[in-house]
Amino acid sequence: MRIIVERLQHSGLLPVALIFGTLTAGILIGTIISGSVDAAPETDEPVSDATPLKVPAAERVENQFSELAQKVRPSVVSIYIPASRADEEDDDSGPFSSPEDMFRRFFGIPEGPMPPPRRRGSGQGSGVIVDPKGYIITNHHVVADAERIRVSFVDDDERYDATLIGADAETDLAVIHVKGKTGLQAAKIGNSDAANVGDWAIAIGSPFGYSETVTVGIISALSREMNAARGGRPFQKFLQTDAAINPGNSGGPLLNIRGEVIGINTAIISRTGGYDGIGFALASNIAVKTYNQIVRFGRVSRGSIGVEFSGDQSPSLSRSYGADGGVFVLRTVEDGPAERAGMRAEDIIVSVDGEKIDTGEKLIEVVAAISVGETVPIEVVRDGKTLTLDVKIQDRAKLYAEQSEAEADPSEAEEAAVRFGLTVQEIDPERRDQMRLSQRGGVLITQIEAHSFAEDIGLQQRDVVLEVNREPIDSIRDLRDVQRSLKPGSDVAFKLLRWDSRAWRTVYEAGLIPK
């Protein structure tokens, strides 16, 4: 051995030999140990006394909810809004890069007012088939400004194009139609007036794109209204539920325990951007009336007589003016139906077409249901005496010029050298009351144009414009007049009211109009 080691040492192979020997020894030792382990006698004895688990034969466990879900699921659809071309070119972050953005776009229920998306991006929602011919009810905000509407049905991988039949922003309802799809099953419509607090409520839809999702809760409250700062409108009456409603549920049905549609899921109130236990579904009775007008006329027409009143009127006010109830008229719209019929401020409306009026809400409801152009008798109390006035009902949207754009007519383009890049509407009495806005005057910003002067200086959707360059703004005409007086390079200062989740506060935004 000594001679071998000396020869290896002289030849320079000693290190290699040592490494080889070490590896050989390790393999031998491992083999011996492994062999001793493998040599242990095999046994069928379990290592514990636990009873093995078994999967039973599949047997359906039926209950009322599962039966209802199977019955109604073919009537619920998923709606997809592809991104516009301009949006695809500008945004490389993907259609669902911000769940919070999707939530806000679909529900519009933030702590306070918030600017709108610059363009219609991709989105999704739900809908319910109400006619086997392919007519579907969904929310207006799901399909608003969409260049293309795509619909998918249960057990069908194909997406179908849909056309917009009509929409109503006042109730946030829209009707779309799909051609080329046969064998559709319409959901059964229920009577939302039959709903009671504590009744079971089932929501079906596509939250976050997960189609056919079923959630269960109860009816938490009836006839809920949402103030305008949270996106509410005078003609919306909601069923409140704790059934989970999330972004993507918009436009889907809320069902009673019989599987009847008693509401259209529309909104949630949340501090997190997701389900917080408070959801709202537009009452089905309101949805039915809106749907019937849309499929017949393509739009919804509501009557108005053109009067302003206080939503929190004290009964003492009517009694002081000689009436035992009714609605005290603060003022009439200039050249409106009421004024033309002889109604004036301090009159007290006690009945419309024979129906007793005791609240402003009742007055709106009754008048809105009367056909536009119809003349009806309205009883008022004036100086303690009852008078009957024949008032011709006018279209509410036309009377109040809703969604009027604060821009000059094309024929006046040379005068209106300055454009702020915003859309406003005048604030009618009902909306002012809904907004809890006690201050008089002002116009409401409903949209801010992307890359505009208004956006650059910080104006926001749902701001109320009170003054521009210290000039009071009480109407769209006032804003147009100020615009015409400005030139590129002028300083412009806006005095605004802005909702901050608790109250309206005064803010100022200003800037230099680009040359």
| 264 vs 396: CA distance, rounded Å | 24
Q: Token match 């056909």: residue?
A: 371
Contact 227/273 with Cβ under 8 angstroms?
no
Kindly write down the DSSP assignment for every residue of 284-323, as one continuous string: HHHHHHHHHHHHHHSS---EE--EEE-TT--HHHHHHTT-
75 is catalytic: no
Which residues in 343-365 are b (16+ Cβ under 10 Å) and which e? beeebbbbbbbeeebbebbbbbb
155 is catalytic: no
The pair of structure tokens assigned to 193 is 């007036």
135 CB contacts (<8 Å, ≥6 apart)? 129, 165, 175, 176, 177, 295
| 75 vs 71: CA distance, rounded Å | 8
Which residues in 6-17 are b (16+ Cβ under 10 Å) and which e? eeeeeeeeeeee
- Residue tagged active-site, from 75, 140, 172, 211: 172
Contact 498/115 with Cβ under 8 angstroms?
no
- Residue tagged active-site, from 141, 168, 206, 433: 141
Distances (CA, A) of 208 to 73, 79, 230, 438: 17, 12, 22, 38
HSE-CB of 36 using CA atoms within 13 angstroms = 5
176 phi, psi to nearest 5 deg: -120, 160
* H and E: helices and strands count for the chain: 14, 26
- Residue tagged active-site, from 192, 250, 270, 475: 250
| 179 vs 424: CA distance, rounded Å | 37
Q: Token match 């009071």: residue?
A: 472
- Identify any residues that bridge with 210 across adjacent strands, giving them in sequence order: none
Contact 104/177 with Cβ under 8 angstroms?
no
Q: Token match 């002067």: residue?
A: 453
| 453 vs 483: CA distance, rounded Å | 12
500 is catalytic: no
Contact 137/113 with Cβ under 8 angstroms?
no
Strand ranges, E, within 316-412: 327-332, 348-352, 355-356, 375-382, 385-392, 394-395
| 359 vs 125: CA distance, rounded Å | 36
504 phi, psi to nearest 5 deg: -80, 135
| 88 vs 105: CA distance, rounded Å | 17
> Where in the sequence numbering do the catalytic residues fall?
141, 172, 250
